[in-house]
Amino acid sequence: MSSEERLKTFTSLGKKVMAVGRNYRALAAEQGNPIPEKPIVFMKPTSSFITEGQSIKIPLGCERLYFEVELGVIISRRCSNVKEQEVDNYIGGYCLVLDMTAQDFQVEAKAKGHPWCLAKGFDTACPVSAFIPKPMIRDYNDIELWLKVNDVTKQRSSTSDMIFSIPHVISYVSSYITLGEGDVVITGSPAGAGPVQAGELIEAGLADVMSMKFPVIV
């Protein structure tokens, strides 16, 4: 099996999902938050992956489930202490990602100074598209992301609004946590994230490269 063929099975190959919060300027402004001085990093378990044909399930007790569309970067090989200018050599491809968030869980946990793992890591919290080969994205620094709920546009932006670039994020993460083949780095969501209800349909896309749909159920 070739390296590319292995990467196409990233949902079973990778061991972790590294994520970056508050990485779009418009999102920080929308939330009234300061621009972070360094990437805000958290993790989602690979058990939260789902692919098209499956449904997003609202976790038990959650009353405010939020959608966040993001560009995911799939790592091609062991990546540790990598310099920004070398990061492209470790990118095997991409995917479109929904960083689903039990927002009420997260707000409560933050208020108490507690971890918010359950808010981001519940089963079905990480819907992903099929593998996107590296050549299909010419410029990851400026590509459109969009998301609709029941055909109403909720998010539309470009990765050009990122605070920390993809090379910076991956270099930063790899300085502390070694990334492996198939691991996914999700790079932040633009402004417009909001609630979704059972019975609604989320459709998201990456320019004209990829789109995906996921129903929401209880």
The confidence band for 182, taking pLDDT boundaries of 50, 70 and 90, is: very high
Q: Is the pTM of this model over 0.85?
A: yes
| Whole-number Cα distances in Å, 194 to 25, 103, 187, 213 | 17, 9, 18, 17
Average pLDDT over residues 82-109: 98
Q: How confident is the model at residue 1 (pLDDT cuts 50, 70, 90)?
A: low
Minimum mean pLDDT range among 30-39, 175-184, 192-201: 30-39
Mean pLDDT in residue range 142-158:
98
Cα 9 to Cα 47, 122, 129, 201, 213, distances in angstroms: 14, 21, 11, 25, 20
Asked if 38 and 159 touch (Cβ cutoff 8 Å), the reply is no
What span, in angstroms and rounded, lies between the C-alpha atoms of 21 and 33? Answer: 12
Q: 168 vs 54, 91, 113, CA distance in Å? A: 33, 13, 28
Q: If you count DSSP H runs as helices and E runs as strands, how many of each does the chain have, helices first?
A: 6, 16
Residue closest to 166 by CA, chosen among 147, 192, 139, 191: 139
State the Cα–Cα distance between residues 14 and 7, nearest whole angstrom.
9
Determine the CATH number of domain 3-217: 3.90.850.10
pLDDT digits (tens, 9 = 90+) for 5-22: 878 899 999 999 999 999
Query: Domain extents for the chain?
Result: 3-217
What local confidence, expressed as pLDDT, does residue 217 receive?
A: 98
Tell me the mean pLDDT in the region 183-212: 97
